[in-house]
Structure 1
Amino acid sequence: MDVQNLTAEDAKAEHDRLVETIKAHDVAYYAEDAPAVSDAEYDRQRQDLLALEARFPELITADSPSQSVGVTPAKGFGKVRHKVPMLSLDNAFSSDDLREFEGRIRRFLGLDATEDVSFFAEPKIDGLSASLRYENGKFQQGATRGDGQEGEDITANLRSVTDLPLELSGAKTKVPDVFEIRGEVYMSKSDFLALNTAQAEAGGKIFANPRNAAAGSLRQLDYEITKSRKLRFFAYAWGEVSGLPGVTQSEVLTVFKDWGFSVNPLSKVCTNMEEAIDAYRKIEELRASLDYDIDGVVFKVNRLDWQERLGFVSRSPRWAIAHKFPAEQATTLVEDIEIQVGRTGALTPVARLLPVTVGGVVVSNATLHNEDEIKRKDVRKGDTVVIQRAGDVIPQVVEVVLDKRPDDSVPYDFPKTCPICGSHAVKEINESTGKEDAVRRCTGGLICRAQAVERLKHFVSRNAFDIEGLGTKLIETFYEDDLIKSPADIFTLEKCDAAPGNLQRIKNREGFGEKATRNLFDAIDDRREISLDRFIYALGIRHIGQGNARLLAKNYLSFANLRERLSEMGDASGEAYSELLNIDGIGAAVADAVTEFFHEERNQDMLDDLLREITIVDFELPAQDSAVAGKTVVFTGTLELMSRQEMKAKAESLGAKVSGSISAKTDYLVAGANAGSKLKKAADLGVSVLTEQEWLDLIGG
């Protein structure tokens, strides 16, 4: 994707598409243990997203997959809140990407070219991430990554994993009182083949690959099933600790070995980036000969004090990166092109393929993204195409094999009306640029069955109300039968079902009965109370995903306050609109979408009906032992004691809100050299102005 030639509107449309697609892929991978495609294509999608956000930084929101990791934990296991988040890693796809990674580190830390930066290189194991908590040297609790903040309690199952000591007794190093070991649970290739052979003989499930087998085995509710399968563990990181037994990554992992953990033998310290690049090449050469799957190499800054200074962005550490191996591809036939309509009205073309196996997974669908993408690649029915798997639920068409195109081939004619409701499908015009959006959208709104159904599916989805048993098929059926037409109908379903004279009781439907019906009603009742951030996300407002929903909840604290402020919002010059835009991470597109939602009368009616049935729990800011927790700070001018990026990161880690503009609600302006107009505005508004040193003194250095 050539982001340099995209208009702002085209970039926004492509960003919207990537956000929705990647989120669906995250659910398939993290929650369902059933990715339909390889990690390489998934990484390509993320790379496209990051390239867009680098070229158009105004698109970055807390909702973007670049700012989040994983998905909400599934049911069936208890929940474990990670005291130190389990984050994902940014990706590199070339040696130049690795060199740029080193450059970012140098710029952030203010290092000159003469200072060496050493890296710890280790194979990236293709398994299931787990965190193991030890107290006084004894294994107490184990958890999956989950959404990075909260995972599943799999303590019992982890006790059966090879390479996982139940008690630590280092011969050389004392074990701290509290230590969370993190690493990857995996299944060796030889054990995987043996498992599938046994499964086939017994008529059981055949696993697609060792990663799926490991994940499926570890997340069994029946401990005996997990115990019967040979799972292994490589340790490579840590979470909450009461002390660290080393000052570098390599020193700590050496201690892990002393405590009885398996540390990958191919791991090594590289004294500079060129050595690191060479390590990648050597590990890639060994890949096929290993008895376990790897999909790349991870590089971490070796010095722990530098890791601490570098800190984290929302979904990944600044001090680590994964260099993935190249994507797998295959050639197949486009049997048809169909249009799917999403909850925001976007018409998305999908290629129906002659099924083909790519890297051990059968692929029968591929995304064609949008109308412009079909034209650019000139994909047609009957074409032979190269497809590429990479972590998306639907893989991507890379290119058309033109010399195999049929003689009677004709270009695809993208529909100008919605295939579901018949409404006009248009490309919106950006008022500021006068150019068309890349995505064509149905104008039917709530009269469009596809949009209405997709919004209801979103409302009950895992990261929203998470109503067990009320899945995709049931939503579609209940919508068609006029049982659920709006979110409030979900919570009045039992009352309507029991109404006198109702001859279509749910218990009499095929697949139900007394017990199943009772379970459904109980599951709905269990979700009559919901946190503010999940509720905002459930509303399905365009551009509002989990990250932005949490951002709004964090700043408005209660739904009553949020609704009041946004419902009364005037034009872009009003105070309420400026207040919304001043939230770090909220841009004009998000602000406009939120404003439009709360100004729509039908949405207000929907909210009134819904609020009679549910309770929304106010957002509580986490306690921070910091002088700046909850304060709003703006940085301006040339900062000399610390890079602006590091200064901002430190402020946010202490609970402060970082804004890009001065307002009456700003608590501090930290002014470096050549501060300019923000300094004058701060003086006019009576905002406290601090020098860099005064700010550092305030936050304790």
Structure 2
Amino acid sequence: MSPAEAKKLIESLTAELKQHNYNYYVLAMPTIADFDFDKKLEQLNVLEKQFPEFADPDSPTQKVGGDITKEFVTVKHRWPMLSLGNTYNAQELLEFDQRVRKAIGDNFEYVCELKFDGLSMSLTYENGKLLRAVTRGDGTKGDEVTTNVRTIHSIPKKLAPGNYPDMFEIRGEVFMHLKAFERLNNERIDAGELPYANPRNFASGTIKLQDSAEVAKRPLDCFLYFLYTDKPVFKTHWESLQAVKQWGFHVNEHSRLCTDINGVMEFITKWDKDRFGLSYDIDGIVIKVNSYAQQHELGFTAKSPRWAISYKFKAERVETELLEVTYQVGRTGAVTPVANLKPVQLAGTTVKRATLHNADEITVRLQLHEGDTVFVEKGGEIIPKIISVNLDKRKPGAKPIYYITHCPACNTELLRQEGEAAYYCPNDEGCPPQIVGKMQHFISRKAMNIDGLGDETIDTLYQKGFITHISDLYNLHQHADELKQLGRFGEKSINNMLEGIEKSKQMPFEKVLFGLGIRYVGETVAKKLVAHFKNIDNLMAASTEELTAADEIGERIAQSITTYFADETHRREIEELKASGLQFVAEEREVKLASEKLAGQSFIISGVFERFSREELKEMIEQNGGKILSSISAKLNYLVAGDNMGPAKLEKATKLNIPIISDAELLAMIK
């Protein structure tokens, strides 16, 4: 392949994979199979190694995130990030229009933009490269969150060559799409963690995380909407929006240039109705005078510009009757309460259910009683939320509603662990929703990805008595004739299902471990455990202390794993799956030694490091001939210690006189 052909193919693959990443992580709407994506990524990786001069610094092959931020640096805004004045009705908007006309006359235009419900962000670019990202803060100064913002797919880290200033600032809003929010919140509920109330809170909480590797796992997006430069580049705001879009920035497509206030009113009316069809939340419309010269003439008040205003939509609220509170049991046993309502129209849809989150919501905040009349609102929530109770309409003698004490599916007494919001059912081997949920999780795309099997099929097979454990899937071939008698399955679909099950035996250990559905063991944790313990026997035998020695494994995860493997039923299930031929040993990759400077030396890595992840430090040690141990003993040569290391490890290492070194000292040994 010629260099010119390679350059063209690298650029094409990079653009295509970036779009697929955006579709998958940000919109939660993938348009390509995982296998096909991985093949294209592999092709790009090979080409970049052959022709490194054509590789994009922001290539999909590059690791995103990984830096730890101990504390955010406060940065003063070069141009203050002022808030806009708000209005909630047409009369106040007309008064704003009159003030503008009085100051600059009748010859002007407005730009109308959607008002995104997210987190305001200021981005500074120098010579086309992202230099700094700062939150609004108090409007005068904010937190620098550059490392975290670099993980957002839609924010360019480096612009293509173009006609833009050497230095400029662009403002925008970081937000999360509704489908992505719903998926992540469901994962938190499944893991027994408190869900976020709305996408804005989730986005805001994510940007303030100190580990950018964690930020990278959460699908944030960003619309950019205002440009600041030292010297005027454009005459109007509308002109600048079109230009920054050409430079590569993500600009919302629903803006409109209006010649008068009537056009503004039409735009507001349209989006007050159509906003519910968007993939993200908006809470109003922003109206700006278009001409920069006229903006300058209008000036500012102490708090906000006189040339712009935001029209806030009223959150739709309706009154309806609470029929009953029911409870859903997730695959991890978490029990979630749901309010069932008398059907009512809200935000363009018929609402029959509302979230109640947890026990405190029922008994403390709302103090719900049977048959209560409740106010329901649909603001930033995916499903509606009960805001309050109309006490004037409470029925005489109505009984208070208390959170259930026993599982609605199997009648086992519910538990609530200290520090957690959710109650959960501990009967994971006998509770039908948990059994079915775990098998559905096992076959899912991110776990074993078994073709020919879906959630409904799993439910049917369970109801008919063919499967009660994951391991039963691998004995289904013995029941092929019986399955044909059910009528629901044709011969072709049965063959596809059995072929998919057989093929899944080749899935790597990390997928199998994730598929088991151990509480708090998600995709990333499963990979870390496999990398550290290498096989299932080592993992099952590991103590809590040995587990926390693994990268990113904390006390809560370690306790969950030891509890899981202490159950004899789970151990028998592992043996059944082993006998069926599933992979319970890590795929060993060949370690090419950079040197043998650490040959014969053993290490344990503990704590948090600023410059490297623990996995990166582990690779450095192994690539230079060193060995990683799982627990502290007299055989250990060095403890590489970062911040927040467990006191028990420190005490044990000190007692055994084991040298405690920093990551800098480790690097010095290698160099």
TM-score by length of 2: 0.51
- Cα distance, 1:478 vs. partner? 0.9
Which residue does the alignment assign to 1:582? 549
The alignment status of 1:513 with 2:494, answered yes or no, reads no
Q: Deviations over 1:567-589 (max 9, x none)?
A: 3x4xxxxxx33121233543333
Contact 2:358 2:422 (8 Å CA) reproduced? yes
Distance change (3 Å), C-alpha of 1:549 and 1:691: closer
- Asked whether the 8 Å contact 1:669–1:679 carries over to 2, the reply is no
Matched, 1:340 2:299: no
The equivalent position to 1:264 in structure 2, one of 245, 251, 267, is: 251
> Which protein has greater RCO, CA pairs closer than 8 Å, 6+ apart?
1
Inter-partner Cα distance in structure 2 for 1:651 and 1:598: 31
**CA apart distance, 1:479:** 0.9
8 Å Cα contact 1:355/1:362 also seen in 2: yes
Look up the match of 1:79. Answer: 37
Partners of 1:454 and 1:485 lie apart in 2 by: 11
Residues 330 and 356 of structure 1 are in contact (CA less than 8 Å); yes or no, is this contact kept in structure 2?
Answer: no
- Matches of 2:613 and 2:403 in 1, distance apart? 46
Aligned to 1:655, which of 606, 616, 636?
A: 616
| Alignment match, 1:610 | 577
Does the CA contact (< 8 Å) of 1:420 and 1:449 recur in 2?
Answer: yes
Q: Give the residue type in structure 2 aligned to 1:550.
A: K
The change in CA–CA distance for 1:398 and 1:87 in structure 2 (over 3 A counts) is farther
Deviations 1:455-485 (A, max 9, x none): 2222223322232442332222211211111
Match of 1:383 among 372, 377, 383: 372
Q: State the distance in 2 between where 1:172 and 1:566 align.
A: 59
Q: CA deviation at 1:394?
A: 4.8
Q: 1:85: how far off?
A: 6.0
Aligned to 1:478: 461
What is the aligned counterpart of 2:517 among 540, 545, 554? 540
Q: Distance in 2 between matches of 1:600 and 1:170?
A: 60
Q: Structure 1: give runs of 5+ residues left out of the alignment.
A: 1-29, 35-67, 89-103, 128-147, 152-167, 174-182, 187-232, 238-245, 268-282, 298-324, 431-435, 570-575, 636-644
Find the aligned partners of 2:400 and 2:604 in 1 and give their Cα distance.
54
CA 1:437–1:632: 2 relative to 1, 3 Å: closer
Identity, in percent, stands at: 24
- Per the TM alignment, residue 261 of structure 1 is displaced from its structure 2 partner at its CA by 4.9
Matched AA of 1:449: P
Match of 1:366 in 2: 354
Q: 1:357·1:363 contact (CA, 8 Å) conserved in 2?
A: yes
Structure 2 residue identity aligned to 1:650: R
Which residue matches 1:135?
Answer: none
Aligned counterparts of 1:411 and 1:364: Cα–Cα separation in 2: 21
> With structure 1 as the length reference, what TM-score do the two structures score?
0.49
Shift of 1:594: 0.7
Q: Over aligned residue pairs, what C-alpha RMSD do you find?
A: 5.8
Name the counterpart of 1:400: 389
Alignment of 1:373-452 (within 5 A): 373-376=361-364, 377-389=366-378, 394-423=383-412, 425-427=413-415, 439-442=422-425, 444-452=427-435
2:558 aligned partner: 591
* TM-superposition CA deviations, 1:602-630 (whole Å, max 9, x none): 11111111122223462568999999999
Q: Deviation of residue 417 (structure 1)?
A: 3.5
The answer on whether the counterparts of 2:330 and 2:437 sit within 8 Å (CA) in structure 1 is yes
**SS in structure 2 at match of 1:410:** coil
Instruction: Decide whether aligned partners of structure 1 residues 523 and 690 sit closer, same or farther in structure 2, where only a CA change above 3 A counts.
Output: closer
Q: For 2:566 and 2:224, how far apart are their aligned partners in 1? A: 50
Q: Distance in 2 between matches of 1:258 and 1:108?
A: 30
Give the alignment partner of residue 530 of structure 2, picking from 550, 553, 566: 553
CA separation in 1, counterparts of 2:605 and 2:408? Answer: 49
Match of 1:161 in 2: none
Partner of 2:508: 531
Corresponding residue number in structure 1 for 2:93 = none
SS of residue matched to 1:457:
helix
| Equivalenced residues, count | 436
In structure 2, what residue type is equivalent to 1:79? F
Structure 1 residues 599 and 70 mapped into 2: Cα distance closer, same or farther (>3 Å)?
farther
Q: Give the aligned partner of residue 204 of structure 1.
A: none
Q: CA 1:652 to 1:444, structure 2 compared with 1: closer, same or farther past 3 Å?
A: closer
Instruction: Give me the whole-angstrom Cα distance separating, in 2, the residues matched to 1:680 and 1:564.
Output: 22
The CA distance in 2 between the partners of 1:124 and 1:559, in whole Å, is: 51
SS in 2 for 1:459: helix
Q: Match of 2:437, SS?
A: helix
Going from structure 1 to structure 2, the CA distance change for 1:687 and 1:344 (only over 3 Å counts) comes to: same
Which AA in structure 2 matches 1:497?
Answer: H
> Do the aligned residues in 1 keep the contact of 2:509 with 2:583 (CA within 8 Å)?
no
Alignment of 1:594-673 (within 5 A): 594-613=561-580, 614-616=582-584, 618=586, 633=605, 648-652=609-613, 655-656=616-617, 663=632, 664=636, 667-669=639-641
Conserved in 2, the CA contact under 8 Å of 1:72 and 1:462?
Answer: no
Asked whether the 8 Å contact 1:170–1:258 carries over to 2, the reply is: no
Residue pair 1:169, 1:259 contacting (<8 A) in 2 also: no
- Structure 1 window deviating more from structure 2 (395-404 vs 598-607): it is 395-404
- Deviation of residue 388 (structure 1)? 4.4
* Inter-partner Cα distance in structure 1 for 2:643 and 2:461: 58
Any residues of structure 2 matched to 1:158-169 within 5 Å, and which? none
What secondary structure sits across from 1:352 in the alignment?
strand
Distance 2:338 2:251 in 1: 41
Say which SS state the counterpart of residue 495 (structure 2) adopts. Answer: helix
Q: Cα offset for 1:653?
A: 8.6
What secondary structure is seen at the aligned counterpart in 2 of 1:355?
Answer: strand
CA distance in 2, matches of 1:666, 1:326: 61
Equivalent position SS for 1:475 = helix
Post-superposition Cα deviations, 1:369-423, rounded to whole Å, max 9, x if no partner, equal 3334321122234223233447776543332232232335221244443332334
In structure 2, relative to structure 1, the CA distance for the partners of 1:73 and 1:477 (3 Å cut) is same
Cα deviation digits, residues 302-324 of structure 1 (max 9, x gap): xxxxxxxxxxxxxxxxxxxxxxx
Provide the C-alpha distance between the structure 1 equivalents of 2:387 and 2:590, rounded to a whole number of angstroms: 45
Q: Which residue of the partner structure matches residue 540 of structure 2?
A: 566
How far residue 117 of structure 1 moved from its aligned partner, in angstroms, is 9.4
CA distance in 2, matches of 1:600, 1:327: 52
Aligned pairs for 1:110-259 within 5 A: 172=163, 257=244
Whole-angstrom distance in 2 between the partners of 1:624 and 1:361: 59
